[in-house]
Structure 1
Amino acid sequence: MMAEVFTRLDKRKIRVAARGAEDKRRHRRVPLQLVGRFLDTHSGEQKCRLIDVSPGGAKIMAKKPPMPGDTIVLLIDGLGRMEGKVLRKGSNWFSLQFTAHMRKRDRLADAITWRFNMERLGLEEDRAAPRKQGKGRAVLHFSDGVKIDADVVDVSISGAAFSCLERPRINEEVRVGEMRGTVARIWDGGFAVAFMPPSGENANAA
């Protein structure tokens, strides 16, 4: 009887250790020098450079680091868009903890692994039809139920520009994937959408 109890305990320890090793592997920081931008509610949009990153967080170099506790949006070339909370800062750097669901962290882990290996081995971006930031097609959902397919002309952390024949109304609410915003500008052949800024409530719920 006691032998069975110890066997169950040993198996439980093995499972706990395995989960711990998996979490450590998934959140291990790797050096990755990529440029990008970030948006915070105090200083607006700024250029930055990645120092190291994991699916759980990153260390960023910037001229004006945000304050600890701030919620920011980060856009890194090759990795995409992430939201997070600032943990620490120095004179020209800050560390960030991502606030994302597990599925998005899994996708980020794949992207980090690819970019890290590509940089180390000098590989070309030859994955099957990789989607580049600011290019491609998007589906926009408007508040009145209308859905529009449009070409992405340009994209930043704070907004995006689309090319299409349809003409939405200024200030009309729109959803693009996980992003929500309003129509900010219209021109001949397209329109621009301003994304809603990050909020502490949304970040805590992520």
Structure 2
Amino acid sequence: MSTVTDIKSRLDKRKIKIAARGAQEQRRFRRVQLSIPGRYLDPVRGEFACKLVDVSPGGARISAEVPPPVNDHIVMLFEGLGRLEGDVVRAGRAGFAVRFSFSDRKRDRLADAITWQFNMARLGLNEDRGGARKPSRGQATLTLRDGVVIRANVIDVSISGAAFACLERPRVGESVRVGGMSGRVARWLDNGFAVSFDPPASPQTPPAA
């Protein structure tokens, strides 16, 4: 009986590890909308203008008046994301989709860059150009519920939240606004606090005609 229990326990732990790994990969390859103009280079036809529609560390959807043929390997350049390359997996009149092809290290750097670019506009972040250029460096203006304004340095930022370094520490659970995003203070840190962003509002169903 103990042998059966041990086997079942090992299987349960294996399932948990597989589920955790799957959840991690899903977060890692989460696609976000980014509208960034750029250019792509087709090795045969030359260089063309394009615009990023959405992107993840695994691939992107791109609009272009002159899309490349399917299966072409192309090089793209987007401000803030740098040089990207991959294979065209779909193409149509509105644009094309590409699957990136590079190392895991480059993929991780791209994930950081995507997160930073995604949050810069919606949180009203200003890059700290005096320091090292890192995806998590910058300053933000936070407004508390009572109107108090806090200027804080960004420690870390993700799609669902951000951490800030400053002397002030609003109470946990307090409402806060960062740029165009609202959220609540999730926890205190040694040198600041973390904010959890509110989920986006569900689109309202249009009234019947």
Shorter-chain TM-score bucket reads: 0.5 to 0.7
* 2: CA distance, partners of 1:59 / 1:23: 19
Cα deviation, residue 47, structure 1? 1.2
* 2: CA distance, partners of 1:44 / 1:129: 35
Aligned length: 131
Q: 2:48: which partner in 1?
A: 46
Q: 2:59: which partner in 1?
A: 57
Q: 1:22: which partner in 2?
A: 24
* 2: CA distance, partners of 1:95 / 1:114: 22
* 1: CA distance, partners of 2:95 / 2:74: 14
Q: Secondary structure at the match of 1:42?
A: coil
* 2: CA distance, partners of 1:33 / 1:44: 23
Question: Runs ≥4 in structure 1, deviation > 3 angstroms?
Answer: none
Q: 1:100: which partner in 2?
A: 102
- The aligned amino acid for 2:7 is V
The share of aligned pairs that are identical, in percent, is 57
- The aligned amino acid for 2:93 is S
Cα deviation, residue 126, structure 1? 2.3
Q: 1:109: which partner in 2?
A: 111
Cα deviation, residue 41, structure 1? 1.9
- The aligned amino acid for 1:130 is R
Cα deviation, residue 13, structure 1? 0.4
Match of 2:93 among 71, 88, 91: 91
Query: How do 1:182-197 residues align onto structure 2 when only pairs under 5 Å count?
Result: none
Query: How do 1:134-153 residues align onto structure 2 when only pairs under 5 Å count?
Result: none
TM-score normalized with structure 1 length = 0.61
User: How big is each residue's C-alpha offset from its partner over 1:112-134, in whole Å with a ceiling of 9 and x where there is no partner?
Assistant: 00110112112122263439xxx
Tell me: higher relative CO, structure 1 or 2? Use CA pairs within 8 A at least 6 residues apart: 1
Q: Secondary structure at the match of 1:111?
A: helix
User: How big is each residue's C-alpha offset from its partner over 1:165-191, in whole Å with a ceiling of 9 and x where there is no partner?
Assistant: xxxxxxxxxxxxxxxxxxxxxxxxxxx
- The aligned amino acid for 1:97 is R
Any stretches of 5+ residues in structure 1 without a counterpart?
132-206
Q: Secondary structure at the match of 1:116?
A: helix
* 2: CA distance, partners of 1:122 / 1:48: 25
- The aligned amino acid for 1:28 is R
Any stretches of 5+ residues in structure 2 without a counterpart?
135-209
Q: Secondary structure at the match of 1:48?
A: strand
Q: 1:3: which partner in 2?
A: 5
* 1: CA distance, partners of 2:6 / 2:105: 37
User: How big is each residue's C-alpha offset from its partner over 1:63-113, in whole Å with a ceiling of 9 and x where there is no partner?
Assistant: 100011000001110000011000001102100000011000000000000
Match of 1:124 among 101, 123, 126: 126
